[in-house]
Structure 1
Amino acid sequence: MSNLIYALWRAPEDALDGAMLGLVADRIAPSSSSLRPHHLVITPEEALCLTGPLGASAVEGMSAHLGAFQGAWPDWHVPGSAVPEGTFALIRSNKATTELCSDFAGSRTLWYVQTQKGFFAATSQRALICLLEGFDVNRAAAAWFLSSGSLGPTDGWDERIQRLPQGSRLVLDKRHWSLQLQTSPIAFHPKPRKANECRRDLEEILLEAIQGFDFTSGHWAFPLSGGYDCRFILSALYAKGLRPRTMTWGLAASLTQPGNDAFIAKQLASHFGLPHEYLLTELSEEPPTHVVDAFLAASGGTTDQLFPYLDGLRLWSSFAEQGIGGVIRGDEGFGWIPVSSAPQARSSVGLLVLTDFMDEATAERLSGGRQHIPEPLKQREDETLATYRDRLYHAFRIPIGLAALNDVKAPFVEIASPLLSRQVLAFVREMPDPMRTDKGLFKDIAKSASPPIPYATMGADDDRNGFLDSPVYSRWLEEELGSETAQSILPDAFRETLLAGVRKAPSPMAPNRSLRAALKRIIPTSWVRMVRAQMGPVLPGTRLLALRASLICRMVRLLEEDSMALGKARKGL
Structure 2
Amino acid sequence: MSKIIYVYTRNNSFRLKDKDRLLKICKELEPENIASKIHHKASVNDHIAFAIMNYTTSLIKKGNSVLLGCLYDQCESWDEPLTDFMDGSYALFRDNEDCLEVVTDAVASRTIWYYFDENCFVASTSQRAILMFIGSFHFDERVIPWLLSTGSLGPELSWDKRLKRLPADSSVLLEKKKWSISMKQAPINFAEYSRSDNEHKKKMEDAIDKTMECFKHMNFEKWALPLSGGYDSRAILCFLVNKGYVPENFTTITWGLEQSIKEKKNDAKVAKDIANTLGVTHKYYYTNVSDEPIKKIIDRFLLCGEGRIDHLSGYMDGMKLWRDLFDDGRVGIIRGDEGFGWSPVSSALMVRYSIGCALCSDYSNLVNVIERFGLSNQVFPAELKQKNESLSTWRDRLYHAYRIPTVLAALSDLKLSYAEQISPLLSRSILNRVREMPDRLRTDKALFKKIVDYITPKIPYANKGANASVQDILKKGPVIELIRDTLRCDYSRTLFGSEFLNYIEKNISFEGSSNKKNSVSIKQFIKKLIPKFIKNWLKNNELVLPTIDPNKLAFRVYIVIRMHQILSKDCNRIKSY
Q: What does the per-residue CA deviation read over 1:372-391, in whole Å, with 9 as the maximum and x for residues that have no partner?
A: 001111112x2111111111
Q: Distance in 1 between matches of 2:130 and 2:508?
A: 34
**Partner amino acid, structure 1, of 2:222:** H
Relative distance call for 1:530 and 1:5 in structure 2 (3 A) is: farther
Q: What does the per-residue CA deviation read over 1:486-507, in whole Å, with 9 as the maximum and x for residues that have no partner?
A: 2123243331122112256374
SS in structure 1 opposite 2:325? Answer: coil
Structure 1: state its 5+ residue gaps: 517-522
Q: 2:347 aligns with which of 330, 338, 341?
A: 341
Tell me the TM-score normalized by structure 1.
0.92
Matched, 1:253 2:267: no
Relative distance call for 1:273 and 1:141 in structure 2 (3 A) is: same
User: Aligned residue for 2:542?
Assistant: none
**Contact kept in structure 1, 2:190 and 2:435, CA below 8 Å:** yes
Q: What does the per-residue CA deviation read over 1:187-223, in whole Å, with 9 as the maximum and x for residues that have no partner?
A: 2112343222211221221121223345621211101
User: Aligned residue for 1:17?
Assistant: 18
Once the two structures are overlaid, the 10-residue window that deviates more, 193-202 or 6-15, is: 6-15
Within 5 A, what are the aligned runs for 1:273-312? 273-312=279-318
Within 5 A, what are the aligned runs for 1:116-515? 116-213=118-215, 216-217=218-219, 218-243=221-246, 244-357=250-363, 362-364=369-371, 368-380=375-387, 382-503=388-509, 505=513, 507-508=516-517
- TM-superposed deviation, 1:174: 0.8
Percent identical residues: 35
**Contact kept in structure 2, 1:211 and 1:237, CA below 8 Å:** no
User: Aligned residue for 2:6?
Assistant: 6
Q: Distance in 1 between matches of 2:62 and 2:478?
A: 48
User: Aligned residue for 2:567?
Assistant: 559
- TM-superposed deviation, 1:364: 4.2
Q: Distance in 1 between matches of 2:379 and 2:253?
A: 41
User: Aligned residue for 1:550?
Assistant: 558
Structure 2: state its 5+ residue gaps: 540-544
Q: Distance in 2 between matches of 1:476 and 1:187?
A: 45
User: Aligned residue for 1:519?
Assistant: none
**Contact kept in structure 2, 1:53 and 1:414, CA below 8 Å:** no
- TM-superposed deviation, 1:539: 4.5
- TM-superposed deviation, 1:292: 1.1
Relative distance call for 1:491 and 1:188 in structure 2 (3 A) is: farther
**Partner amino acid, structure 2, of 1:278:** Y
Once the two structures are overlaid, the 10-residue window that deviates more, 371-380 or 29-38, is: 29-38
Relative distance call for 1:329 and 1:532 in structure 2 (3 A) is: farther
Once the two structures are overlaid, the 10-residue window that deviates more, 85-94 or 66-75, is: 66-75
SS in structure 2 opposite 1:5? Answer: strand
Relative distance call for 1:328 and 1:438 in structure 2 (3 A) is: same
**Partner amino acid, structure 2, of 1:449:** I
**Contact kept in structure 2, 1:338 and 1:530, CA below 8 Å:** no
Relative distance call for 1:303 and 1:530 in structure 2 (3 A) is: farther
**Contact kept in structure 2, 1:386 and 1:437, CA below 8 Å:** yes
Q: Distance in 2 between matches of 1:547 and 1:93?
A: 42
SS in structure 2 opposite 1:566? Answer: coil
Relative distance call for 1:264 and 1:529 in structure 2 (3 A) is: farther
- TM-superposed deviation, 1:56: 2.2
Q: Distance in 2 between matches of 1:539 and 1:351?
A: 15
SS in structure 1 opposite 2:149? Answer: helix
Q: Distance in 2 between matches of 1:76 and 1:312?
A: 37
**Contact kept in structure 2, 1:347 and 1:539, CA below 8 Å:** no
Once the two structures are overlaid, the 10-residue window that deviates more, 27-36 or 100-109, is: 27-36
Q: Distance in 1 between matches of 2:460 and 2:537?
A: 28
User: Aligned residue for 1:100?
Assistant: 102
Relative distance call for 1:509 and 1:208 in structure 2 (3 A) is: farther
**Partner amino acid, structure 1, of 2:79:** H
SS in structure 1 opposite 2:303? Answer: helix
**Contact kept in structure 1, 2:13 and 2:46, CA below 8 Å:** no
Relative distance call for 1:366 and 1:393 in structure 2 (3 A) is: farther
